[in-house]
Amino acid sequence: MSQPLQSPVIAGGLVALGLALAGLLVGNGIARIKSGDAVVSVRGVAERNVTADLATWTIATQAAGSDLASVQAKADADAAAVRAFLKANGFAGDEVSNRGISVSQYMDSNSGRLNITIRQRLQVRTTRINDMVKAFANQAEIIRQGVALDSDGGGGLTYSFTKLNEVKPAMIAEATKSARAAAEQFAKDSETAVGGIRTATQGLFSIEARDGETGSGSDTPNQKVRVVTTIEFYLDE
């Protein structure tokens, strides 16, 4: 048995009702988007110039030859010369320590000669930064005494800032303030207002050379501490 045909009026009404419902759903969707949380993500930066409070200088030497006793005597003389140099520059006692010694030897197949090398390291750790700067600048005096400094033996001078925890709280507050200032400028341009913090991520603290200084932060006592925070603020209409 065939189904009765729907009235054009009823069909048209159903179509109109469907369009109205669709429009309502779309309208509600737009409303939900508009009433959703508006946020702005900004970064805040804080920088502070500091001076290193610890200097560590590792002085590596090497003595070479074909006779172990002679090479050992030269290594002992080198160590004595280094210690005398350090003492003349005001470093002695607990500030100076032995950091190891190594012996390597091999037979040169071309000359049939035994080659022996003794490497040793002395280390100076001090909080007297200015004295260390002067001593390091005068290290050529050690070389003039016939001491072969070993640049490949782990030698070198590093400067450290050990009071990072003392400046962290103030720098985090400064970075947060910087981020809010950026958010307020954004809000002003978009005719909104800055609300509370939604999320906040603290970046790592880094220690770098100050502007105008060369090398990394550990190469100079004149250092700069830097931190970057990323913060999302709510925006209120």
Domain contains 17: no
Return the pLDDT at 110: 82
Residues 138 and 167 occupy one common structural domain: no
- For the chain, first and last CA: distance in Å? 63
- Number of structural domains (the chain) is 2
Instruction: In whole angstroms, give the CA distance from residue 163 to residue 50.
Output: 10
For 35, the 3-state DSSP assignment is helix
Q: Please check whether residue 105 lies inside any domain of the structure.
A: yes
Which domain, by its residues, includes 136? 54-160
Q: What's 71's domain CATH number?
A: 3.30.70.2970
Indicate whether 181 and 230 sit together in one domain: yes
What is the mean pLDDT for each group of 10 consecutive residues in the chain (237 residues)? 47 44 34 53 95 96 94 96 95 92 89 90 96 94 92 81 96 95 91 91 92 84 95 89
Question: Are 77 and 142 found together in one domain?
Answer: yes
Q: Is residue 3 part of a domain?
A: no
Q: Are residue 73 and residue 153 in the same domain, yes or no?
A: yes
| Judgement on whether residues 45 and 59 belong to the same structural domain of the protein | no
As beta bridge partners, residue 87 has none
pLDDT of amino acid 18 = 45
Residues 68 and 46 in one domain: no
- Percent helix, percent strand, percent coil in the chain, to nearest 5: 40, 35, 25
DSSP string covering 110-125: TTTEEEEEEEEEEEEE
At residue 125, the pLDDT reads 97
Non-local CB neighbours of 130 within 8 Å, separated by 6+ positions: none
pLDDT at 109: 81
Q: Please enumerate in sequence order all residues whose Cβ is within 8 A of that of 167, keeping only pairs 6 or more positions apart, or say none.
A: 48, 50, 225
Is residue 149 one of the residues assigned to a domain? yes
What's the pLDDT at 139? Answer: 93
Rounded distance between C-alpha atoms, residue 73 and residue 63, angstroms: 9
Q: Quote the pLDDT of residue 37.
A: 73
The predicted pLDDT at position 216 comes to 82
pTM: 0.74
| CATH code, domain carrying 203 | 3.30.110.170
Please check whether residue 89 lies inside any domain of the structure.
Answer: yes
Are residues 92 and 169 both part of a single domain? Answer: no
> Can you give the pLDDT at residue 154?
66
Give the strand order in the sheet containing 113-126.
96-108, 113-126, 54-65, 156-160
Are residue 90 and residue 155 in the same domain, yes or no?
A: yes
197 and 229, same structural domain?
yes
pLDDT at residue number 153: 61
Give the integer Cα–Cα distance in Å for 156 and 182.
42
Q: Looking at residue 169, what is its pLDDT?
A: 95
Which of 113, 128, 160 lies at the terminal end of a domain, its last residue? 160
